[in-house]
């Protein structure tokens, strides 16, 4: 185990050291006409090169492993008009009853979600309702407050058509584009704020590093011999939560739910060449998976959860192959094909990566946990990377341009 002194060094990192000037006009409010036409900044060992995302075909080599997050953004924003005229917004964050994503989306007639409420003070008691249309039938959706947990509210939804809650959301809700875009969602966001490989419903924000990939690029990479793998991490609203504390140790990282297949774990165990993660969500999942394997090796029963700072105190003497093999043995012993887990891991400067060799990622907000993750990957060169992007007209944040960063701080 590592010492408390070492852990304190990570927790005492000051967020004010991870800022840069981001003019409003550099934030991409809309995507480009085509996904692959975005710019691509490539970084390796201090060197920066510039190209376009379509270059990804040439940059990846046969035998390398490319890992995507296949989560799908749901229509999480629901709007209700009270008889008084007050507009209430319910932002669905994660399932509460049933707690399982798939079961909740399949629920018919009633379910409960943990939500954020806009204009909550105008919703004092009773239920609110809205009308929706599904397959030519008119339906009614009712929402009722059940309990309050911190800043979130448990809401019970009831509806009168024989359809799933997933279908209700599709009919009633809006895609929750990021708040910093300062605009309402439009019809184009229905397509462009989803990756082309999105399949598993559950996110309230897109894994935006994947927005640049097209079906043709994926097909070309597969034909070239690049190995493709998928995982699922449902992105929560916490990804937009600003760090308001002076030190990162005072910031409570958000928990996210993930689903891992036995096939992916075997691919990671047997990987002979570099592992590329598409997006910070894939990075968090893959690195969490290593530590879950370590917990298995250490005989820790609840290995499928990872707390915020647990990766900084667990023993790190195991190889990736040993860690993944422990998980493979769990899959086989329990006759499971999928592992449902949750992670609260925070990746900060000084963290030594155990799984990934490189990551595709967009350009992130100042003083954000995502920028801390980038700094963990490339060290102080993050300043050079972001200065270059600002000086060379790169577009920032969710609909912005991309980067391919080789990790400097990986444990051998």
Stronger pLDDT, 5 or 247, i.e. the higher one = 247
Q: Give me the number of domains the chain comprises.
A: 2
Whether residues 153 and 105 share a domain: the answer is yes
> Within a domain: residue 412?
no
Q: Which of 55-64, 232-241, 289-298, 324-333 has the lowest mean pLDDT?
A: 232-241
> Within a domain: residue 184?
no
Spatial separation of the C-alpha atoms in residues 180 and 281, rounded to whole Å: 19
Judge whether residue 3 has pLDDT over 60: no
> Within a domain: residue 335?
yes
Judge whether residue 354 has pLDDT over 70: yes
Spatial separation of the C-alpha atoms in residues 297 and 329, rounded to whole Å: 11
Band (241; pLDDT cuts 50, 70, 90)? confident
The helix (H) or strand (E) run that includes residue 386 is helix 381-391
Which of 123, 141, 173 is the last residue before a domain boundary?
173
pLDDT, one tens digit per residue, over 162-196 is: 999 999 999 999 999 998 999 999 999 999 999 99
Chain centre to alpha carbon of residue 296 = 24
Band (399; pLDDT cuts 50, 70, 90)? very high
pLDDT of residue 251: 94
Spatial separation of the C-alpha atoms in residues 233 and 264, rounded to whole Å: 14
Q: Are the C-beta atoms of 358 and 56 separated by less than 8 Å?
A: no
Whether residues 93 and 62 share a domain: the answer is no
Whether residues 68 and 169 share a domain: the answer is no
Judge whether residue 246 has pLDDT over 60: yes
> Within a domain: residue 31?
yes
> Within a domain: residue 122?
yes
Whether residues 162 and 297 share a domain: the answer is no
Band (202; pLDDT cuts 50, 70, 90)? very high
pLDDT of residue 237: 78
> Within a domain: residue 180?
no
Judge whether residue 242 has pLDDT over 90: no
Chain centre to alpha carbon of residue 83 = 37
pLDDT of residue 29: 97
Range of the domain at 318: 4-72+192-406
pLDDT, one tens digit per residue, over 67-100 is: 999 999 999 999 999 888 899 999 999 999 999 9
Residue 76: phi and psi, rounded to 5, are: -80, -15
Whether residues 137 and 260 share a domain: the answer is no
pLDDT, one tens digit per residue, over 92-138 is: 999 999 999 999 999 999 999 999 999 999 998 889 999 999 999 99
Whether residues 169 and 303 share a domain: the answer is no
Which of 140, 173, 206 is the last residue before a domain boundary?
173
pLDDT of residue 2: 55
Q: For residue 239, what is the domain's CATH number?
A: 3.40.1780.10
Spatial separation of the C-alpha atoms in residues 314 and 335, rounded to whole Å: 27
Whether residues 239 and 336 share a domain: the answer is yes
Band (285; pLDDT cuts 50, 70, 90)? very high
Average pLDDT, the chain: 95
Residue 136: phi and psi, rounded to 5, are: 85, -5
> Within a domain: residue 185?
no
pLDDT, one tens digit per residue, over 271-280 is: 989 999 999 9
- Count of C-beta atoms within a 10 Å radius of residue 133: 11
Judge whether residue 1 has pLDDT over 80: no
Judge whether residue 9 has pLDDT over 80: yes
Judge whether residue 404 has pLDDT over 70: yes
pLDDT of residue 4: 58
Per 3-state DSSP, the chain is made up of helix, strand and coil in percentages (nearest 5) of: 35, 30, 35
Spatial separation of the C-alpha atoms in residues 236 and 20, rounded to whole Å: 25
Instruction: Of 365, 122, 354, 332, give the one whose Cα is nearest residue 242.
Output: 365
Alpha helices in 153-240 (DSSP H): 165-172, 189-192, 215-224
Whether residues 14 and 99 share a domain: the answer is no
pLDDT of residue 287: 98
Judge whether residue 5 has pLDDT over 90: no
- Count of C-beta atoms within a 10 Å radius of residue 308: 18
Which residues make Cβ contacts (< 8 Å) with residue 334, sequence separation at least 6?
none
pLDDT of residue 392: 98
Mean pLDDT of 253-265: 95
Question: pLDDT above 70 covers what percent of the chain?
Answer: 98
Whether residues 115 and 258 share a domain: the answer is no
pLDDT, one tens digit per residue, over 140-155 is: 999 999 999 888 999 9
Whether residues 85 and 47 share a domain: the answer is no
> Within a domain: residue 186?
no
Whether residues 274 and 208 share a domain: the answer is yes
Whether residues 145 and 229 share a domain: the answer is no
């Amino acid at each position: 185990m590592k010492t408390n002194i070492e852990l304190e060094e990570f927790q005492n990192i000051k967020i004010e050291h991870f800022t840069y000037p981001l003019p409003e006009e550099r934030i991409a409010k809309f995507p480009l006409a085509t996904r692959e036409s975005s710019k691509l900044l490539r970084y390796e060992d201090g060197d920066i090169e510039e190209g376009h995302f379509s270059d990804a075909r040439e940059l990846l080599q046969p035998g390398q492993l490319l890992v995507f997050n296949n989560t799908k953004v749901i229509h999480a924003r629901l709007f209700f008009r009270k008889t008084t005229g007050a507009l209430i917004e319910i932002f669905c964050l994660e399932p509460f009853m049933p707690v399982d994503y798939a079961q909740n989306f399949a629920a018919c007639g009633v379910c409960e979600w943990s939500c954020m409420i806009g204009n909550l003070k105008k919703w004092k008691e009773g239920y609110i309702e809205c009308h929706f249309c599904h397959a030519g039938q008119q339906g009614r959706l009712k929402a009722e407050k059940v309990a309050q947990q911190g800043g979130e509210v448990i809401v019970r939804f009831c509806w009168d058509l024989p359809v799933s809650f997933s279908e209700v959301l599709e009919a009633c809700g809006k895609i929750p584009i990021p708040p910093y875009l300062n605009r309402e969602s439009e019809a184009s966001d229905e397509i462009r704020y989803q990756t082309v490989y999105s399949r598993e419903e559950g996110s309230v924000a897109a894994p935006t590093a994947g927005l640049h990939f097209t079906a043709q690029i994926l097909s070309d990479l597969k034909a070239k011999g690049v190995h493709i793998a998928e995982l699922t991490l449902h992105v929560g609203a916490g990804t937009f939560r600003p760090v308001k504390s002076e030190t990162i140790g005072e910031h409570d990282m958000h928990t996210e739910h993930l689903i891992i297949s036995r096939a992916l774990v075997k691919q990671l165990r047997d990987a002979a060449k570099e592992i590329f993660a598409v997006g910070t969500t894939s990075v968090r999942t893959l690195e969490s998976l290593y530590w879950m394997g370590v917990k298995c090796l250490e005989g820790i029963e609840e290995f499928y959860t990872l707390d915020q700072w647990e990766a900084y105190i667990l023993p790190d003497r195991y190889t990736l192959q040993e860690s993944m093999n422990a998980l493979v043995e769990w899959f086989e012993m329990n006759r499971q094909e999928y592992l449902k887990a949750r992670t609260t891991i925070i990746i900060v400067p000084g963290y030594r990566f155990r799984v990934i060799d490189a990551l595709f990622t967009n350009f992130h907000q100042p003083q954000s946990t995502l920028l801390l993750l980038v700094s963990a990957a490339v060290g102080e060169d993050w300043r050079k990377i972001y200065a270059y992007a600002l000086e060379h007209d790169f577009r920032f944040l969710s609909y912005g341009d991309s980067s391919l960063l080789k990790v400097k701080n990986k444990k051998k």
